[in-house]
Amino acid sequence: MAAATAETPTDRMPILAAVCLAAVVLPLGFAGGAVATPAIGADLGGSPTAMGWITNAFMLTFGSSLMAAGALADQFGRKRLFMTGIAAFAALSLALSLAPTILVVDILRAGQGFAAAAALAGGTSALAQEFEGYARTRAFSLLGATFGVGLAFGPLLAGFLIASLGWRAIFLSGTIIGAIALLLAGKRMRESRDPHAVGLDWPGALAFTAMLTLFTYGVIEAPEVGWSHPIVAASLLGAAATLAVFIAVETRSARPMLDLTLFRYPLFIGVQVLPVATCYCYVVLLVLLPLRFIGVGGLSEIDAGLLLVALSAPMLVVPLIASQLVRWFSAGALSGAGLLLAAVGLFWLAHVDPAASGMAVILPMLLIGAGTGVPWGLMDGLSISVVPKERAGMATGIFSTTRVAGEGVALAIVNAILASLAEARLSTFVPQGGAEIRAAAQRLAMGDVHGAAAILPALPAAEIHNSYAVAFQHLSIVLVGITVVSALIVFALLRGDRASSPRAKSPDDTGFDSIKTGSAMS
């Protein structure tokens, strides 16, 4: 049975601090890894695909295992899973700091993803048990803000560590922060379980993981071997088949990993749209822009990290402001407006020269970060309100899976689109380029203009730079379209209609309705 909540706010603060430290170190590993990719490639070598897996391997395993981790947290204990996950993350970070090859880095990053899923699912579902009402809303808002801290200062810290100690120090920092979180949680966090948990839905978990793996692998390999290659076609068809299997398994399961009946409710669907939208207007930029600043703009890692702070710094303030604005405005209206603001910033950034720096880049990035920060500060609290408290593991698991799996899929799709756009542009200059054009386009998608120039020595450097600029501009317009459509969906579905909620609420219930109207805060 679930343990009683801690008796005083002082008792709960170390618990919140431990989970927030995990919330810092996870995006730190993600954003820091993106900044470190060029340095890792320069040190250990590897193809663009191998370097891409530094980020994609982590995101794939992280996203594919979150729902399973939520179910395990409900069954075996939220504290136990959190402690196991953060300990494994710290240990794998230490191993990464000693990795001898790019293959070992990729494998260890995949292991980190599983550990991160356990830590996040266990930690967030534990928070849901420790806090009630408005205190829970504030705790989850603070959790969202600490994710922003990791995203804001991850690139800067990574650049500083690379410049002073080398890329291996980035992963060593994860070990240190993880150890501190372990000490805090070990003393104060109480164990809790779902008394009705009956075990992990293994068929569903395996089908979901297989679907994501096949889809991501196919999309990542396509720019290198071509979309018509048998391996790519087989991977994408296999993903479609395993998705059908997953839906069939979950529909027939008495205790599914993902309760598909929740998708009958507009509120639930609207909440899931928020993390998907932020993937395409914000998260993908955390990977694309450092590569652009370093490879195209010629900045050092620390200068790239400093510049990227403009994108992430609003996450330190805007989510907290958004959590207060729900006193007067609905969460849906605020989130939709924020996404439209981010779309304006994306459109602005699309028309900035890739080699530019300073205010020309800072201003649109600030706009994107501020716009994204609005739904970022609200969606964690919204996600926990759509199911009964006892199913907190499933609630956080579903939402976190949508967020992280969506990030992994978005990164794979966006990289593939950028490479395809670059290939199309380069083909206008070298129509018979074939494999060379494809290889150069992959290098451009990684921001490696020098590598692309080495593959196509006859093509003027200005044309290679222009090919990247055009490809990035067209990609940005695609991202603008996705963000605007997402905003319209959010406006339509997150209206806070009481009848749309998947469970009835009593007048003093502090679920979505109280978050929307601010009644719990007034």
Q: Is the pLDDT of residue 389 over 80?
A: no
How far apart (Å, rounded) are the C-alpha atoms in residues 354 and 447? 10
Q: Using an 8 Å Cβ cutoff, are 190 and 79 in contact?
A: yes
How far apart (Å, rounded) are the C-alpha atoms in residues 38 and 298? 12
Q: What is the pLDDT of residue 234?
A: 92
| CB contact burial 274-312 (16+ within 10 A = b; e otherwise) | bbbbbbbbbbbbbbbbbbbbbbbbebebbbbbbbbbbbb
Q: What is the pLDDT of residue 149?
A: 72
Q: Using an 8 Å Cβ cutoff, are 296 and 354 in contact?
A: yes
Q: Residue 50 burial (CB < 10 Å; 0-12/13-18/19+)? A: middle
Q: Calculate the CA 21 to chain-centre distance.
A: 17
Alpha helices in 131-167 (DSSP H): 133-164
**Relative orientation angle of helices 9-44 and 133-164, to the nearest 10 degrees:** 30
Average pLDDT of 274-301? 85
Q: What is the pLDDT of residue 45?
A: 77
Q: How confident is the model at residue 345 (pLDDT cuts 50, 70, 90)?
A: very high
How far apart (Å, rounded) are the C-alpha atoms in residues 503 and 128? 17
Three-class SS of 283-336: HHHHHHHHHHHHHHCCCCHHHHHHHHHHHHHHHHCHHHHHHHHCCCCCHHHHHH
Higher pLDDT, residue 522 or 70: 70
Q: How confident is the model at residue 505 (pLDDT cuts 50, 70, 90)?
A: very low
Q: How confident is the model at residue 520 (pLDDT cuts 50, 70, 90)?
A: very low
- Summarised one tens digit per residue, pLDDT across range 456-490 is 887 888 888 888 888 889 999 999 999 999 999 98
Q: Is the pLDDT of residue 500 over 50?
A: no
How far apart (Å, rounded) are the C-alpha atoms in residues 270 and 11? 35
Tell me the C-alpha to C-alpha distance, in Å, between residue 68 and each of 95, 401, 404.
25, 9, 13
Average pLDDT of 185-205? 69
Q: Is the pLDDT of residue 521 over 80?
A: no
DSSP 394-443: HHHHHHHHHHHHHHHHHHHHHHHHHHHHHHHHHHTT-TT-THHHHHHHHH
Q: Is the pLDDT of residue 334 over 60?
A: yes
- Summarised one tens digit per residue, pLDDT across range 510-519 is 343 433 333 3
Alpha helices in 189-265 (DSSP H): 202-225, 230-252
Q: How confident is the model at residue 387 (pLDDT cuts 50, 70, 90)?
A: low
How far apart (Å, rounded) are the C-alpha atoms in residues 129 and 521? 20
- Summarised one tens digit per residue, pLDDT across range 116-135 is 888 888 887 777 777 766 67
Arithmetic mean of pLDDT over the chain: 78
Average pLDDT of 383-394? 57
Q: Using an 8 Å Cβ cutoff, are 85 and 116 in contact?
A: yes
| CB contact burial 130-146 (16+ within 10 A = b; e otherwise) | bbeebbbbbbbbbbbbb
Q: Locate tokens 């018979």: which residue?
A: 432
How far apart (Å, rounded) are the C-alpha atoms in residues 73 and 2? 11
Q: Using an 8 Å Cβ cutoff, are 241 and 475 in contact?
A: no
Its sign, for the CA torsion 288, 293, 298, 301, is negative
Q: Residue 344 burial (CB < 10 Å; 0-12/13-18/19+)? A: middle
Q: Using an 8 Å Cβ cutoff, are 54 and 33 in contact?
A: yes
Average pLDDT of 488-498? 73
∠ at Cα 208 (82, 114), nearest 5°? 30
Q: What is the pLDDT of residue 94?
A: 92
Q: Residue 488 burial (CB < 10 Å; 0-12/13-18/19+)? A: middle
Q: What is the pLDDT of residue 478?
A: 93
Q: Residue 507 burial (CB < 10 Å; 0-12/13-18/19+)? A: exposed
Q: Of the given ranges (5-19, 148-162, 470-484), which has the lowest mean pLDDT? A: 5-19
